Amino acid sequence: MSRLFGTDGVRARANSEQMSARSSLELAQAAAVVLGFDQVPGGERPKAVIAHDSRVSGEFIGAAIMAGLASSGVDVYDAGMLPTPAAAYLVADLEADFGVMISASHNPFYDNGIKFLARGGKKLPDAVEDRIETLFRSQDFRFPDGGQVGKISRFSDAEDRYVTHLLSTLPGRLSLDGLNIVVDCANGAASGCSPDAFRIAGARVHVVAAEPNGTNINDGVGSTHLEGLQAKVKELGADLGIAHDGDADRCLAVDERGEVVDGDTIMSVLALARRDAGKLKDNTLVATVMTNLGMEKYLESEGVKMVRTKVGDRYVLEAMNDNGYTLGGEQSGHVIMSDYATTGDGILTGLHLAAEVSRTGLSLSTLSHRFERAPQTMINVPNVDKTATGTCEPVQNAIKAVEDELGKDGRVLLRPSGTEPLVRVMVEGPDQETVDRHAARLADVVAKELALVTAP
């Protein structure tokens, strides 16, 4: 039996067996016990915050989850459509016992997901998810009656609280006056609060993709489709563009020339800004194995150390929490500023990036081109036994040969896909011709040595 929880909660096609009204209700009943009644003192009623993105299925899934929680005796605060980081913040701000976010992030509208947040708005450890799943499968739920059932209340000032919090994080209440910014909300959860936050901070804001209809989330817009934002920034002569994904835990940017500014570059800008402000713990940035080698060398020259983790914001968070680091993230735009948030926050990231443009008086392109990217190539090799990547001797020998040739001027990474029989081969090196040649060579070895055996 496969594990119910994936790398970021439960995610599936809406109204499939895993994401039906019934399964959502029962999952909520299990969470009510594990995150609620197992944690609060006897006799107290747990409190939970629930929010969703703009998917049409979020309504029935949310209704089912609220019914499951309230029928178990949990008081529910319905925050409506809000970003994932807003839900996390509100769990902490309300001193709720846990939270629920209904979103499939950057996935198409027909998918959805359920993510639970622990007290303080933090992600759940695997062990806690396993306890919820065990209870979900055993159906050992609570069934109070009479006045012991929970209440469902509308969290009417949820968005205002979150926006106020975002603005409070700007250094010295720095104003974005004079900045001309385009904000792409992906027709998702940020459609209301992101434009509001930038406007209140003083920027002149042009909004695109902020008209969610339930089915247009991430549809050709947002952080996974930057072409429209690039064109709009150039058309308007804007200073920069900010792009979110469906639940706004990501931020990618576009500079005044219409060029993409990815998560690596955003982190480099923020790392130096926070170092100069004395707010970068141990002068250390946490990033993943995918972050560009050129950026690592540049930050090293600036006295900033980089700690690398496996791909996935949960691993970045673990390293940050274990060591008290204050900044980390991924190329994809998940940027975590732990002084202000417990998870990646696309609006928070965008505000601080814009604030650095305002503070320095430099263009985003100038801030973004402080380091030279190491040439990088990635090749996806399908239909292979990804589990044998680390044990196949010919593959390991091929990796070592490339690493020996590249030396300190390059890196090799073979990363098995989490969902497909596929291995991603990534090579960085001194020039594009070299990395292309080595990547193609390694991909050929992986395809040959790890090929899946098919039945005749």
Active site residues: 105
Report how far residue 126's alpha carbon sits from residue 417's, in angstroms, rounded to the nearest whole number.
19
CB within 8 A of 248, min separation 6: which ones? 83, 84, 85, 86, 185, 186, 188, 189, 190, 194, 345, 346, 347
User: Nearest CA to 176 among 194, 206, 202, 205?
Assistant: 202
User: Nearest CA to 31 among 14, 8, 48?
Assistant: 48
249 is in an annotated binding site: yes
Report how far residue 214's alpha carbon sits from residue 304's, in angstroms, rounded to the nearest whole number.
43
245 is in an annotated binding site: yes
Distances (CA, A) of 455 to 238, 452: 57, 10
Report how far residue 159's alpha carbon sits from residue 200's, in angstroms, rounded to the nearest whole number.
14
208: helix, strand or coil: strand
Find out whether 101 and 87 touch, Cβ atoms under 8 Å: yes
User: Nearest CA to 61 among 10, 106, 107?
Assistant: 10
Within a 10 A sphere around the Cβ of 449, how many other Cβ atoms? Answer: 18
Residues recorded for the chain: 456
Tell me what percent of the chain is helix, strand and coil, each rounded to the nearest 5: 40, 20, 35
CB within 8 A of 272, min separation 6: which ones? 299, 302, 304
Report how far residue 314's alpha carbon sits from residue 316's, in angstroms, rounded to the nearest whole number.
5
Through-space distance between the first and last CA atoms of the chain, rounded to whole angstroms: 28
Report how far residue 165's alpha carbon sits from residue 169's, in angstroms, rounded to the nearest whole number.
7
Q: What is the DSSP string of 375-424?
A: PEEEEEEESB-GGGTTT-HHHHHHHHHHHHHHGGG-EEEEEE-SSSSEEE
> Which strands make up the sheet holding 240-243, listed edge to edge?
204-208, 180-184, 240-243, 252-255, 260-261
Find out whether 76 and 152 touch, Cβ atoms under 8 Å: yes
105 is in an annotated binding site: yes
Query: Where is the binding site for Mg(2+), in residues?
Result: 105, 245, 247, 249
